[in-house]
A and B are shown apart, each in its own frame.
Chain A
Amino acid sequence: DIQMTQSPSSLSASVGDRVTITCRASQRISSYLNWYQQKSGKAPELLIYGTSSLKSGVPSRFSGSGSGTEFILTISSLQPEDFATYYCQQTYSTPLTFGGGTRVEFK
């Protein structure tokens, strides 16, 4: 199974901050890496697929990059509605696996 490791597990930030979240895969997964946002008590929502493609309707302050085994989600200027938990997921092979999540909290 491919293990996905996210860091940090949580972070505190202020509105307007630039935030980066890293996701590392235990083996190369090409670009089969997705990012989801989950707000408290809600279902996850797709933000970015295929490492760097933004889902339609997702604000352009979100971006994704990386390749191979290391991937990054960047929020260029954190907004109040961005406080949530973020998960990366690999779909390179089954079982489809997620990182442990990164909780973005208000500083």
Chain B
Amino acid sequence: EVQLVESGGGLVQPGRSLRLPCAGSGFTFGNFALSWYRQAPGKGLEWVGFIRSKAYGGSAEYAASLEGRFSISRDDSNSIAYLQMNSLKAEDTAVYYCTRQITIFGVAMYMDVWGKGTTVIVSS
């Protein structure tokens, strides 16, 4: 079964950092781009960013409002992607989802597999 599992969420104080792992299984992890989304309580979906597969350079793109604080990396040997979140703010409180991103010639097309999400609460 193709699966993505996020972890690492929890309660964190403003200004602190948190790293969210996303473990993949049931598919060749390194062949796919991975993306992160978030959903604040009672709100809609927001794109955080994605990381390309190594075949397309392994580079990442981010939502402009998050670039500089958030970064995405990947460890294909262990089938894990990471979302590093620094200088966290109250408005970063959300459920964070990891997804498998289908691309064609490196262009993002759609997200066909979603993890169950992990909840991050930023509060003192």
Please list the residues of chain A having a beta carbon within 8 angstroms of any beta carbon in chain B. Answer: 32, 34, 36, 38, 42-46, 49-50, 55, 87, 89, 91, 94-101
Contact = CB atoms under 8 A, between A and B. Distances in A.
Interface residues of A, dominant DSSP = loop
B110 A91 contact: yes
A50 B116 CA distance: 24
A101 B46 CA distance: 12
28 contacts: A34-B109, A34-B110, A36-B45, A43-B114, A43-B115, A43-B117, A44-B45, A44-B97, A45-B114, A46-B111, A46-B114, A49-B102, A49-B112, A55-B112, A87-B44, A89-B45, A89-B110, A91-B108, A91-B110, A95-B63, A96-B47, A97-B47, A98-B44, A98-B45, A98-B46, A99-B44, A101-B44, A101-B45
Interface of B: 35, 44-47, 50, 61, 63-64, 97, 102, 107-112, 114-117
Contacts of A96: 35, 47, 50, 108
A44 B96 CA distance: 12
Contacts of A94: 47, 61, 108
Contacts of A43: 97, 114-117
Interface residues of B, dominant DSSP = strand
A32 B44 contact: no
B64 A95 contact: yes
A49 B109 contact: yes
Contacts of A99: 44
In the A-B complex, the 8 residue pairs with the closest CB atoms: A49-B110, A96-B47, A43-B114, A34-B110, A98-B45, A91-B108, A101-B44, A95-B63
Contacts of B97: 43-44
Contacts of B46: 98
A50 B109 contact: yes
Nearest to A45: B114
